[in-house]
Structure 1
Amino acid sequence: MAPSKENLSAVLYGINDMRMVKRDIPEPGDYDVLLRMGSVGICGSDVHYLTKGRIADFVVKAPMVLGHEAGGTVVKCGSKVTNLKTGDRVAIEPGVPCRRCKFCKGGRYNLCHDIYFCATPPDDGNLCQYYTHAADFCYKLPDHVTLEEAALLEPLSVGVHATRRAGVTLGSRVLICGAGPIGLVSMMAARSFGATDICITDISANRLQAAKKLGADSVVLVSSSSSDQALAEAVKCSMKEQRQPNVTIECSGAESSIRLAMLATESGGVVVLVGMGPAEVKVPILNAATREVDLRGVFRYANCYPLALDMVSSGRVDVKPLITHRFTLLESEQAFETARTGAGGAIKVMINCE
């Protein structure tokens, strides 16, 4: 299908100021492809930029197209593209690194200081009709994998990276703090990696109910009136044979949740910090240090998309139940409000750009 003459895009101009703007259709560079966008999921970071205008040091200072969880169809290839052709449906890994620095050469390109990452200021995202991207960061989909599933490879890749960083393997006992989309895909990834006992916590009973349906072995409802020690004990009691988790994946970013992660994990275990919360938090660091609980950071992912795609295409991981709401590109404002409020039990809100 030939591109139309306009490129409707969801552009963030400032706090709570998102506008639908007709932009020019970009031309792909030699190593790029032009994509007709299909499905784009709304991430918590998209909502945060809309409502707060920043995440940590990333500040929206100029108009920026939102969206980075995406799948689309190739409509034009750059002159030197060899891995894709017109008509291919692809999942889009949103971060394109410099390929030259020590982090890129060492395989940890998620730490590249010169990475282009969709919808992270100042880089435009792909919540639009047409978008260009580096061809080698686009992954061709098997015929049976949908563009919605392609969009969900982005959060699933976060879960894969977190699970790898945590060292989850066959027989791991895993605590996941936070039953939002990232917590749920981390649960799916951990199960696929061999975890045999998974407990998930959240402040929302509805989200915990969803987590149980998606495969959690046990859940713990977090109350503001519960002490850290009481919650840690509740986690232990909920797990098989009342054994502490040896791995915790913290996905909320909340200070209280990070404390719980450190206290609940058994001595010699691992805590990975996935959730993005306050820049500084008060945590029981001496407790963790004297019990040799390892703390590991997680930032995006590297070399995870191929495995995430294999997980989905093989049927080992089913991400489709995460999608609770669907909107068109013209309904983006309503879609973001649904994602922001969690109305109707929203987990993952998907926008169809076609």
Structure 2
Amino acid sequence: MGRIGSLIVEGDCILGHEAAGVVLRCGDGVTTLRPGDRVALEPGAPCENCFLCQEGRYNLCEAVKFSGVYPDHGTLQRYKVHPAKWCHKLPANLTYSQGALLEPLSVVMHGIKSAGVSLGRGTVVCGAGPIGLIALAAARASGSHPIVITDLEPRRLAFAKDFVPTVIPYQISRDLDAQANANEIRKLFGRSGGSGDGDEDYFAPHTVLECTGVESSICTGIYTVRRGGTVMVIGVGRPIINNVPFMHLSLAEIDLKFINRYRDTWPAGMACLSGGILDLDKLVTHVFPLERAMDAMRLCSDVSQGSIKVQIVDEVDGAF
């Protein structure tokens, strides 16, 4: 049974929540779209009535109908009915592929904004999967420097170095615990080694963007960040994580923060891509037709196959 925390797949459900397409028909009263418009889908449709929606924090709405989260069918289908409000017109210079990438980009944008990544401040990105790689590119575009990215898989680290040449890759050692790996990562930012004068913490990164949700990685990020810094957990993990170093967080006044999806990010995301601030095209390593969706799923579930971002397209009538 699939799940993300309390979101459990309890029956048949079409997956998919990163999508772009063309409008075929509009319902009565729709004035913002017309057939033929190219759109990117923001996959959640919040209730718009609860106090969170009224405050503008619609990403926290508990009554949201989110594509691909049971019982609401997702976007891996030929036709999808979706509220016009959450269909964003694509600029002429963006492809459908780029439109689909707006969803993971939105996750990262929400995390980076909440974490306060800024010019000339060091960042560690934990995890060189799709979200981690987008976080790497976005942190670089935000002016963060230096940036270290971590992963267990050397091929993904090599991809990250090719994707953003200024990044410093660090392969997590399975033979070291979280604190020992953190000490090695800190050395990449400058002076370290316990001199006692506080300099080793001064050179430590201000921000950690944790993009795996794995307990050991979160703990490594906590020990890596400087005192008074921020660890932003973007990745999703187990419902309960027990071994977080609570007193280290407390004594160092480290902000351990989290996000849930995104809000008001599609316009800014489209501006980033259409304006050339970010170029994420290289992340799409494989493309499959809709009829081979299962093959695409099998490929992306096996890290050893070298995929980064796998997209599924429907080429009916040459629309894509």
Fold match by TM threshold 0.5: yes
Q: Does 1:60 align with 2:21?
A: no
| Offset from partner CA, 1:200-234 (integer Å, 9 cap, x none) | 10000011111111115201101210122221122
Structure-2 separation of matches of 1:120 and 1:140: 24
Q: Distance in 2 between matches of 1:117 and 1:314?
A: 29
Matched, 1:71 2:27: no
Question: What's 1:284 paired with?
Answer: 245
CA contact (8 A) 1:218 1:239 kept: no
- Aligned-pair CA distance for 1:194: 2.2
CA contact (8 A) 2:4 2:239 kept: no
Q: 1:155 aligns with which of 104, 109, 116?
A: 104
- Asked if the contact 2:6–2:239 (Cα under 8 Å) also holds between the matched residues in 1, the reply is no
Q: Is the 8 A contact 1:69 1:153 kept in 2?
A: yes
Instruction: Give secondary structure in 2 for the equivalent of 1:143.
Output: coil
Residue 259, structure 1, aligned to residue 219, structure 2? yes
- Cα deviation for residue 251 of structure 1 reads 0.8
- Counterpart Cα distance in 2 of 1:279 and 1:56: 5
Structure 2: which 5+ residue stretches go unaligned?
Answer: 193-202, 316-320
SS in 1 for 2:248: helix
Listed one character per residue, the Cα deviations across residues 70-93 of structure 1 (whole Å, up to 9, x for unaligned) are 000011111211221111111100
Aligned to 1:217: 167
Distance 1:220 1:343, change over 3 A: closer
1:325-340 equivalent positions in 2, closer than 5 A: 325-340=286-301
Q: Which aligned pairs between 1:168-247 and structure 2 lie closer than 5 A?
A: 168-215=117-164, 217-239=167-189, 243-247=203-207
- What's 1:141 paired with? 90
Amino acid at match of 1:252: T
CA RMSD of aligned residues (A): 1.3
Aligned to 1:322: 283
Residue deviations 1:150-199 (CA, integer Å, cap 9, x gap): 00100000010010110112222111111111111111222222212211
The answer for the alignment partner of 2:51 in structure 1 is 102
Q: How many residues align?
A: 303
Deviations 1:283-340 (A, max 9, x none): 1110011000001111111111111111111111011100011100110111000011
For 2:231, give the aligned amino acid. V
AA in 1 matched with 2:158: Q
CA contact (8 A) 1:97 1:114 kept: yes
Unpaired runs of at least 5, structure 1: 1-51
With structure 1 as the length reference, what TM-score do the two structures score? 0.83
**Aligned counterpart, 1:294:** 255
Q: What's the counterpart of residue 268 of structure 2? A: 307
1:20: which partner in 2?
none
Whether contact under 8 Å (1:159, 1:187) holds in the other structure is no
CA apart distance, 1:241: 6.3
SS in 2 for 1:75: coil
State the Cα distance separating 1:240 from its structure 2 match: 5.5
1:246-278 Cα deviation digits (max 9, x unpaired): 011111111110100110000010011111112
TM-fit CA distance, 1:343: 4.8
Superposed CA deviations along residues 44-82 of structure 1, whole A, max 9, x for unmatched, are: xxxxxxxx4222222222211111100000111112112
Cα distance change of structure 1 residues 241 and 149 upon mapping to structure 2, 3 Å threshold: farther
What is the deviation of 1:280?
A: 2.0
CA distance in 1: counterparts of 2:127 and 2:81, whole angstroms: 34
* Cα separation, 2, equivalents of 1:171 and 1:261: 19
* Contact 2:4–2:237, Cα closer than 8 Å, also in 1: no
Partner of 1:8: none
TM-score by length of 2: 0.92
Amino acid at match of 1:267: R
Match of 1:272 in 2: 232
Letter in 2 for 1:146: T
Contact preservation (8 Å) 1:197, 1:240: no
Task: State how far apart, in whole Å, the 1-side matches of 2:228 and 2:140 are.
Answer: 21
1:200 alignment partner, SS class: strand
Matches of 1:62 and 1:229, distance apart in 2:
41
